[in-house]
Amino acid sequence: MLVNKKLLKGSIILLVSFNIYNALNFFFHFAMVRMMEVVEYGILASLFSIIYIFGVFTESIQVVIAKYSSREKKGGKLKNILRKSLRKSFNISLLVLLLYSFVAIPLSFLMKISYPLMLLNGSILIFSFVSPITRGILQGRKRFSALGINMIFESIIKLSVSILLVYFGWSIYGALIGSTLGAGGAFILSFVGIRDITKEKEVNASTEGIYGYTKPTLFIITAILIFYSLDVIVAKIFFSEELAGIYAVSSILAKIIFFGTQPISRAMFPISAENNENKKKSENIFINAFTILTICIVVALTLFYLFPELIIKIFSGKEIEKSAEILFYLGIAISLMSLSNLIILYKLSLGKIKGYPYLFIFIILEIFLLSFFSKDLVQFSIAFITASAIFFWGSILLMND
Measured in whole angstroms, how far is the alpha carbon of residue 12 from the centre of its chain?
19
Alpha carbon separation from 267 to 57, 118, 322, 335 (Å, rounded): 20, 34, 36, 18
CB-CB contact of 327 with 305 (8 Å): no
pLDDT digits (tens, 9 = 90+) for 148-205: 889 899 999 999 999 999 999 898 999 999 999 999 999 999 999 888 888 888 787 6
Q: DSSP readout, 17-67?
A: HHHHHHHHHHHHHHHHHHHS-HHHHHHHHHHHHHHHHHHHHHHHHHHHHHH
Residue 7 has pLDDT above 70, yes or no: no
**pLDDT given at position 385:** 95
Backbone phi and psi for residue 363, each to the nearest 5 degrees, phi listed first: -70, -45
pLDDT digits (tens, 9 = 90+) for 46-102: 888 777 777 777 877 887 888 778 777 777 888 888 888 888 889 988 998 899 899
Q: 22-26, 268-272, 300-304 — which one is most confidently predicted on average?
A: 300-304
CB-CB contact of 63 with 353 (8 Å): no
**pLDDT given at position 187:** 93
Angle at 17 between CA 12 and CA 22, to 5 degrees: 120
CB atoms closer than 10 angstroms to residue 196: 11
Q: Confidence band (pLDDT; 50, 70, 90) for 133? A: very high
